[in-house]
Structure 1
Amino acid sequence: MDISWTSKSAKSQEKIQSKENMSNYGNTFNLESKCTVPGELFKDPEFKVMVTWKHESMEGPEFRELSVRDLPWHPKLQATPIESVFQGDEVLLQCRVSDYFPDALVVKWFEKKMGSQELVEIISSEKYNIPEISSCRTENGTFSSTADLSYKRSDLSEKGIEFICRVEHPSLGTPLQNTILQYKDTAEMPTFSINNIYGPQTWYNGEKVTLYCGASYCTENTKAIWRVTEAGGTPYDILETPSGEETKSGLQHSGYVAHRERTEKSDKEDLLDFTSSLTFTPSITKHLNVTIACKIVDSGEKFKEKTFHCKNIF
């Protein structure tokens, strides 16, 4: 049995050294032939390895060709979905590619506007950041990598946009691609929200009580106004005492004091979360059947309100 190995590319053809091992079983023989080829050569999709064998019992030689597309290692693509995006968000899109060989991966990002079938390639710019990808060798000898695309939501003015991650590799006949995110421009900044007033449900005559009310996604100038309506009385408002200052006239009313207890940055850019408190000393004559409300008023004078009723007073 004659056997030979040859490497072929668009520019050259070379013979490859091989090692044979022959064994026999009765009147027949088995021949095993091995050759080693640098994996880098398979980065060229036109590169092929050809093995040819001939035996006196055969009418003529036979052969088989092997290219990178015949190898068992092909890229697998997994995209990370993002369900909602708000104005001002810093958005990171990721596309993970695994199980490919050789290390010759190309990842491209495209955008498709709503109502259009045209794919426009995205390149790294002030609007989009696309860092270079680097491959990692895995235990089974294949490679994996993660491609990133980041942008700031406020940079996009289109009514809708779709992002596509496209993967090219010599082992693929056609590129792989996956849609990462599609959003519509209805994902505006979240409106502020107000939590229920919380505090002790049972009050005792002469013992100080503090009630709390929290709000989220507020602008810097959002105000908290507490409104107290004592039994049979007229409602009156209590404004918050500025932090670190003594209680001033007009900020308290008949022993009620409101404070801004906490102000923190929200998880949305340029918005705040805060908690306001109202402290007073209850009495049976004034606070039986009292109604206390907290009204949150944003910079546009829109407001939301929660009400609290004491269950018991002794």
Structure 2
Amino acid sequence: MRAVQIEEYGGPEVLRTVEAQVPEPGPGQASIDVAYTGVNFADLKARAEGYRVPALPFVPGLEVSGRVRAIGAHVTGLAVGQEVAALTEGGAYAEVAVAEAATVFPLPDGVDLRTAATLPTVLPTAYALVHTVGRLQPGETVLVQGAAGGVGTVLGQLARAAGAGGVHGVVSSAAKAAYALDHGYDRVFVGTFADEVRAATGGRGVDLALDPVGGDTLRASLASLAPFGRLVSFGNASSAQPWQVGQPELYPLGLSVSGFSILTLARTAPAELRALTERAFGTVADGSVTLPVTAEFALKDAPEAHRLMGARTSTGKLLLRVGD
């Protein structure tokens, strides 16, 4: 089978298409004939920095859609040929991928394979940030970093559907701001945002801030919170040192900080992930959330997909087209 792998860390050019052995599912696993693979920023960090890479050579990729090819021992609820979406621990940039059965999800009615490839990481993450971890209440205000990306696109729609009183986003360009305003956001700030957020909220700040960037951006998001506000960290795109927050920051206004990683949840609490994902997928099936595919590449063109995402000019979701 064809696969895209890295043998050394570096720029997009280290992604190379190779012939690889077809993987077989072990106990509790399923293999999938891949139709589409989602491209995520975590893939770029794996390629450049070794993020979640156990050893080289390594086939990156965290999410696929396709049809079940084979089923390992002790797997129930899946059938060969069934159309599914799956969250993987790598290996998705390939014609066949293996995933734990607990993270393989039959497609809801009306969801095609192309749409399905946008869902496994983005949609459950966004749903958890708004509802499960962020606990957004009707009338509250929310601030989202990376509002024009895949997760950001869904967050704006979910926050609006949850009855948010104000949905504010932060992006890096005017073009991205225009895109975010079309996907649920009331106001979008380009670059700096702390003073602008205070002005937009009458000096109060926001009730919920969602940050995938870390570093100085996380600190500024924390400073943008209203009394009793919550901040959820769900990534470290800046590659800054891990954040630390203590009494001096939290006590004066009764603030709280929490974190979320869908990949970690898949390992530590797969049953919780499955329940979360089923609820999240329902928002696509009922039409309340859409995630536009803004660029699609052939598998061999994975380096070009990485260049586009790495340039920070893309919006929505990027896909690799793998199978028929």
Pick the structure with more strand per residue. 1
Q: After TM superposition, is the score higher than 0.5?
A: no
Question: With CA pairs under 8 Å and 6+ residues apart, which has the higher RCO, 1 or 2?
Answer: 2
Q: TM-score, structure 2 length as denominator?
A: 0.20
Q: Normalization by structure 1: what TM-score?
A: 0.21
Q: Which has the higher helix share?
A: 2
Structure label with greater radius of gyration:
1
